[in-house]
Amino acid sequence: MIPMAGLLAIFAPLCAAALLDRVPSLAFGLPLLIAASAVFAATHHEQPDAIRSAMLQWLVWLGVILGVVLGVVLLIGIWV
Amino acid sequence: MLAMLLAWLVPGAGHLYQGRRFKGVLFLVVVLSIYLTGFVLGGGRVVYWSWKRGEQRWAMACQAGIGIAAVPAAVQSRLLHGGGKAALAGGFMAPPVSLNQPVDESYAQAMIRRTPELTEEDFRRQPRMRLWEFQRDELSLWHHQLGRWFEIGTLYTMIAGMLNMLVIYDAGFGPLGTTSDEERRSKASKKNAGSADNAAKAST
């Protein structure tokens, strides 16, 4: 039996590649997402450790919010 | 104020001036790299200043947040639309020349050198003057040459400028008002201590 992690390791890159192929703006959006997370984190905290952890939190937040928006737009694009 | 001015001129310079090295270097690297990436993706054409009627470049309002890196655009726009009718440095960060816009002969030749699609026939020479009237629209040529890269480059440079506005605020007024993890923990421990005291008093 193939473990869950193995399935994820196989299918996650395939899904990511398919998504990048379908939505090229995703590749150009990622550097902006990382930059925005870094700046948002650094403008909310002062200590390097706090900035690092806040950057990850901002990355997840922004990624989820923008990902949902992108997903909805993608679905509308497919549906309409 | 000086730190804010420095932060506008060069991202992170205000923080470096204040001795906040980590943040200074972080802002310098992150904001400038996004700006330069956008500038390169856009073929060096996406940052220009134009407030001519019908041809306003609204993206510049955001791009100007990057400071000194956007200053040449303002200078070039003034030169091209001023009496000289020519921009410096072969048109680096100069606004596009529009239909029937007169430009100096030397600038027209510089345009021909840098744009393969252009020839001398795309200009109408004005008699007894060193001015040539452009018979095409340079912005359309840029869009044709660069395609989506023009928009992507514009987006990158705009976002870099807007992020630098946050950096300027941080240089002037410090981190935005959010509670840190330590503050949250100390508040929670005080609250717990307070409720434990109340419980002890109630039991006695």
Q: Do A42 and B156 touch (CB under 8 A)?
A: no
Q: Residue B157 pLDDT more than 90?
A: yes
Q: Which residues of B touch A56 (CB under 8 A)?
A: none
Structure token digits, residue A41 = 């984190």
Query: Partners of B103 in the beta sheet?
Result: B132
Residue B120 confidence (pLDDT)? 77
pTM of the model: 0.77
ipTM for the whole complex: 0.73
Whether chain B has a CB inside 8 Å of the CB on A68: the answer is no
- Supply the pLDDT for residue B42: 87
Would you call A57 an interface residue with chain B, using a CB distance cutoff of 8 Å?
A: no
Evaluate if residue B178 carries a pLDDT over 70. no
Where in chain B are the domains? 2-173
Smallest Cβ–Cβ distance between A48 and the set B22, B34, B166 belongs to: B22
Predicted local distance difference test score (pLDDT) of residue A37: 93
Q: CA dist B159 to A33, B9, B10, B33, B126, Å?
A: 10, 16, 15, 11, 42
Distance from CA of B55 to the nearest CA of A (A): 27
- pLDDT value at position B158? 93
Cβ contact B155–A32 (<8 Å): yes
Q: Confidence band (pLDDT; 50, 70, 90) for B98?
A: confident
Cα separation of A40 and A64, whole Å? 16
Between B125 and A43, where is the model more confident? Answer: A43
Q: Nearest C-alpha of chain A: how many angstroms from B197? A: 32
The confidence band for B163, taking pLDDT boundaries of 50, 70 and 90, is very high
Give the pLDDT of residue B181.
Answer: 56
Distance CA B22, CA B35 (A): 20
Overall average pLDDT of the B77-86 stretch: 73
Length of chain B: 204
pLDDT, greater one: B94 or A53: A53
Report, as an integer, the average pLDDT of B35-54: 86
Task: Reduce the DSSP state of residue B104 to 3 states and report it.
Answer: strand
**How confident is the model over A43-60, as a mean pLDDT?**
89
Residue of A nearest to B148 (CA): A25
* pLDDT for res B188: 74
Residue B204 pLDDT: 63
- pLDDT for B159 equals 93
Q: Does A40 touch chain B (CB under 8 A)?
A: yes
Choose among B38, B20, B21: nearest CA to B163. B38
- Of B33, B37, B176, which is closest to A43 when you measure between CB atoms? B176
Interface residues of chain B, partner chain A, Cβ below 8 Å? 20, 22-23, 26-27, 30-31, 33-34, 37, 152, 155-156, 159-160, 163, 166-167, 169-170, 174-176, 178, 180-181
Closest Cα in chain A to B31: A35
Chain A residues lying within 8 Å of B160, measured CB to CB: 35
Quick check: A49 contacting B, CB < 8 Å?
no
Greater model confidence, A21 or A54: A54
Compute the average pLDDT of residues A53-73.
Answer: 89
Q: Which residues pair with A30 in a beta bridge?
A: none
Instruction: Specify the pLDDT at position A22.
Output: 66
Which amino acid, B26? L
Q: Following DSSP, what letter does each residue of B117-154 receive, concatenated?
A: T--GGGEEEPTTSSEEEE-S-HHHHHHHHHTHHHHHHH
Helix, strand, or coil here: B116? Answer: coil
Q: Is B136 left (phi over 0), alpha (psi -120 to 50) or beta?
A: beta
Whether the pLDDT of residue B179 is over 60: the answer is no
| Res A38: pLDDT | 93
The answer to whether the CB atoms of B175 and A39 lie below 8 A apart is no
Q: Which two tokens stand for residue B98?
A: 């529009």
